[in-house]
Every structure is written in structure tokens, then in C-alpha cells.
Structure 1
Amino acid sequence: MDMESNLLVTDATQRQTGTPMAVTAEVAVRTLLSLLGGLMVAVLVYTIATDGLPFRMELLTRWMAALLIDFYINIAIIGAWVVYKESTWVMAALWVLLLICFGSVTTCTYIVFQIYKLTPEETSKDPFYFVLVRHQKSDVTEHRKGVSVITARVIFAVLGCFMLGTLLYTLIVDGSPFRSELYTPWVVATLIDFYINVVALSVWVAYKESSWMDALLWIVFLICFGSITTCVYIVRQLFYLSSDHPIFLILFRNNHRDLKSSDPPLMAGAKE
């Protein structure tokens, strides 16, 4: 059994019999993301109907450009999870393309779809774990070699620094973003799109953090600083891993990372 299988097995051994709270949380997240996805569809339709298509150069102000960079860094991070999650490159590429084109509508659709795929047993134990983890089908033989922990640290640190530089540059050359003339219909739509993705990332942070105070603090930072916080948080999580760990372990709670087991039947809960 390879390292990934061992780590997933041992994560499963940590799950005790589920509680009603797990089911309630799953229903709450599913409902919330369904509503937010529907809201974003309505916002897109309304904005196109009232302001036309967004592919116009006059819309691309400095702050709109900064917002788009912020938006797509978070999309890249969500897309990285989708690539890990999907068992084939074709499906991964399709979902990533939809993320690029439709943003949080795709984020919400994908997560809700993953929630609906959970078995009753998975839902009762730890629905967030089973949504996050890759469900490897037994007939799929495709293997992927992910980037190393050190490489991932560099990538996310560079992305965070790039966004910080973009933010500082835009503040210097264009002033504060809190000016009414900046808030065109498409800027407002993009902000809504951006913050729906922030909600999805906040659910992940709340799942990972053992303290509600820590989770709340990180969520406030996500709201205020967007993808800069996302990158800082991921780099921080990566520093909890040793260089020989697979980077997918940052998806899960810290106390599930370093356990060892070799009991194959326990993997049944993490397979389709």
C-alpha cells in the first residue's frame, strides 16, 4: 500500500461514530452553497441584461484588474483541489475550465455535487473529510505525481506576494478602492462572485481549525485580504508537513496527518 493509501486509511481509523452535528453541518453547507450558487446565477443574468457583456476594455480599471487577480488566485487554489479530487484528467480539466468561466457558480455546484455523492455512513461520520478526499475508483489505474511540499510552499508564497504587490501598487497609483465611481455593475457582480468563493474557503478553514476563535480570525482575514490570506494560510499549513508528505494532507485536520495503519478494509469508506 502506498503512502497516500496508508494516510487515508489511518485518517479513517480516527473517525468515531458520527453525531447529529455532522449531519446538520452537512445540510447547512449544502443549503448555503446551493442558495449562493443560485444567487450568483441571478446576479450574472441581471448584470448581463442591464449592463451587457463584461468583455469591454472600459470595464478593466486598475481596481477591477486587481480584483480579477485576487479572484483567480482563489480560483487556482480551488482548481488545485479539484484536480486532486478528480480521478481522471479529462474531468479535472473540464471542471477547471468551468471554474475559470463561471467562478463561484461552478464552485458551489461542484461542492454540492460532492456532498450529494456521500453515502449515509460518510455523512454521519465526517462529511467534510469525505467531500475533500479523493474517491479513487477501483478500476482507475491512472497515477499522478503531485508537486513536492517545498515546491508548493514556493508557489503559494509567490502567489501571495504577487497579490500583495498588486494591492500595494493599485493603492499607490489609483488610491483607495472605497469610491462609489468604481462600483460599476460588473465590479459589484465580480465582488459577489469573489466573496461566494471566500465563503467556500471559509467553510474549509472552519473545518480545519480546532478553535472557533482561530477560525473566526482567519475568516475575517479572508474577508479583508482575500487571496493573500488564502496563500498565507496554505503556506502555514504546508510548514506543518515534512518534505516527504504529500501536499493533499493540508486539506484535512492536523490531528489526522501522522498516523500509521495498514488495514486495507478501512479504505472502503474512502472509495466509491
Structure 2
Amino acid sequence: MAVSVATGLKSLFILLGCLMTATLIYTIATDGLPFRKELLTPWMTATLIDFYINILALGAWVIYKESNWISAILWIILLVCLGSITTCAYVVLQLFKLSPQESSQDPVYYVLLRHKKKTYSRREGSEQKSLFSVVTARFMFGALGFLMLGTLIYTIATDGSPFRKDVLTPWLSATLVDFYINVVALSVWIAYKESSWIGASFWIILLICFGSISTGAYILLQLYQLSSEGPVYLILFNSSNRAENGYERVLQRGNYSGIAA
């Protein structure tokens, strides 16, 4: 079953990456380059803010995953410039790095996990803590959620509803495709995190309807389930994986002792 999940995710993200590449090429061919002032309509600006808040969430995972800052910075630049094309390429690359055993056990967990290791040393934990604390993450994603909420309210108040034909320009349509492919990636994570399909479906619907407002709310909720003293990367894993690999002991103790698999 898990092998079919890994194969299905590879196929899904390859297909989505090709879709976004074709959309980008078609939009450039029919509407020109996007670097034009007249394209920055109020709803385009709001959509870009929405888009890049989700990029920040994905970028935080990429920074955790990469073993050195050079590769992390390179992937972040690609994420900012190429959006979901990079998301799809990165996810597919991580899936192809899985061993047959990892693919057969829990592919989403091993894709999320840094270095595909189950053992964390005191040094690694300390580095993760000093880089990005739980309290800092709570503040950041809470602020980003409120930023998008304020942007949405302001844009509706000043430019009206987005459900108008004149709003849907070629580049806004392409940006929406880009945005929702990243939503698919976040939805896979939420489906992995949630213990029931009802909870997962609820959050995915909110993500589709409210974009990065829901992203910020979900991440903030997950962060408040972690100890303020613990490592922020534990937000990536569901409670089952944390318990199986001893992560829950870190949450309870608030230290970074070595954790045996």
C-alpha cells in the first residue's frame, strides 16, 4: 500500500510540474512576460501575497531538509522564481531518493525527514533550536496569517469581489494554477498529519477557500501543540511517527538528548 502511495505521489507531482510548466510557457507566448506594471491589479497583488506566504511555509521545510546553506539558498531562489515547478521538482527528487524499504514503510514521513535518519543527536537538536525557535515560528506564522487576512479584507473593500470576469487576466489565471499546485503539496502534508479523513478534509477545504490564511492558522495550531522548549521541526511529523521514533520524549522533557530509533 505504501509503495503505491509513493508511486502515486511521484506521478501526481510530475504531472502537476508538467502542467505548471505548460501553463507558464503558454501564458508567456500568448500574453508576454509578467514583468509589467499594468499586471499588478489589486487582486493580482493580493494573490501574490497569498502565494508567497505558502512559499515561505514550503521554504521552511526545504531549509530543514537541506544539509548545507548553499543548496538551501539555491532551492529557495528557485521556489521564489519558479514557484510550484520547483515545489514539484523538489518533492519528486525527495521521493526518488527513498530506499525501497522507506517507500514501503511510510514514504511521506521519510520525504519530510531530514537526511532520512531516525536518530537525532544533541548537536543536531541544538542547531535546529538556535536556528528557529517554536516561539519565533508561532509569531511569524500568526503574523503572516493576519497579514493575508488584512490584505483580503482591504482588497474586497477597495476593489470589490474577485468573482468578476475582468479580474481573471491570463497572468492571474497562471498564478492561481501555480498557487493551487502548492496547495496540493500542503494538502498532502495535512492529510499525513491528521488522524482522521474528516479533520484532513476540513482543513484542505479551508486551504482551498482561504489560502494562506488557513496555512497560517493550521501551522500555528500545530506549533501550539509543541513545547516552547522543543525543536520546531517536530511540527512536520504526525503524532504516530513522533511516538514511534521517540520524539514525544523530547516534547515532554524539553531537551535534546540522543533519540534512538
- TM score, norm. by length of structure 2: 0.89
Cα distance in 2 for partners of 1:202, 1:191 equals 16
Q: Which has the higher helix share?
A: 2
Name 2:4's counterpart in structure 1.
Answer: 24
The answer to whether 1:50 aligns with 2:35 is no
Name 1:129's counterpart in structure 2.
Answer: 109
Cα distance in 2 for partners of 1:79, 1:59 equals 26
Q: Per-residue CA shift, 1:212-266, capped at 9, x if unaligned? A: 01100100000000000001000000011011110100100023141479575x4
Name 1:75's counterpart in structure 2.
Answer: 55
**Matched letter for residue 128 of structure 1:** V
The answer to whether 1:116 aligns with 2:101 is no
Name 1:258's counterpart in structure 2.
Answer: 248
Q: Contact between 1:128 and 1:207, CA under 8 Å: does it hold in 2?
A: yes
1:97 maps to which of 67, 70, 77: 77
In the TM superposition, residue 164 of structure 1 has moved relative to its aligned partner by 0.2
| Worse overlay, 170-179 or 146-155 | 146-155
Cα distance in 2 for partners of 1:24, 1:40 equals 24
Name 2:253's counterpart in structure 1.
Answer: none
Q: Per-residue CA shift, 1:94-121, capped at 9, x if unaligned? A: 0000000000000000000000000011
The answer to whether 1:228 aligns with 2:213 is yes
Name 2:254's counterpart in structure 1.
Answer: none
In the TM superposition, residue 136 of structure 1 has moved relative to its aligned partner by 7.2
Name 2:120's counterpart in structure 1.
Answer: none
In the TM superposition, residue 188 of structure 1 has moved relative to its aligned partner by 0.3
The answer to whether 1:181 aligns with 2:166 is yes
In the TM superposition, residue 146 of structure 1 has moved relative to its aligned partner by 2.2
Name 1:62's counterpart in structure 2.
Answer: 42
Cα distance in 2 for partners of 1:243, 1:57 equals 44
- Report the secondary structure of 1:135's partner residue: helix
Alignment of 1:118-267 (within 5 A): 118-135=98-115, 143=127, 145-255=130-240, 256=242, 257-259=247-249, 264=260, 266=261
- Report the secondary structure of 2:248's partner residue: coil
Gap runs ≥5 in structure 1 = 1-20, 267-272
Cα distance in 2 for partners of 1:96, 1:263 equals 30
Computed over aligned residues only, the root mean square deviation of the Cα atoms, in angstroms, reads 1.8
**Matched letter for residue 26 of structure 2:** Y
Cα distance in 2 for partners of 1:26, 1:250 equals 21
In the TM superposition, residue 152 of structure 1 has moved relative to its aligned partner by 0.8
Cα distance in 2 for partners of 1:177, 1:80 equals 30
Count of residues in Structure 1 that have an aligned counterpart in Structure 2: 243
| Worse overlay, 127-136 or 226-235 | 127-136
Higher relative contact order (CA 8 A, sep 6+): 1
Gap runs ≥5 in structure 2 = 118-122, 251-256
Cα distance in 2 for partners of 1:136, 1:195 equals 28
**Matched letter for residue 44 of structure 2:** M
Q: Label 1:248 to 1:57 Cα distance change in 2 as closer, same or farther (>3 A).
A: same
Q: Contact between 1:87 and 1:136, CA under 8 Å: does it hold in 2?
A: no
Q: Contact between 1:69 and 1:163, CA under 8 Å: does it hold in 2?
A: yes
Cα distance in 1 for partners of 2:258, 2:67 equals 23
| Worse overlay, 147-156 or 88-97 | 147-156
Cα distance in 2 for partners of 1:71, 1:122 equals 31
In the TM superposition, residue 26 of structure 1 has moved relative to its aligned partner by 1.2
The answer to whether 1:85 aligns with 2:75 is no
**Matched letter for residue 123 of structure 1:** S
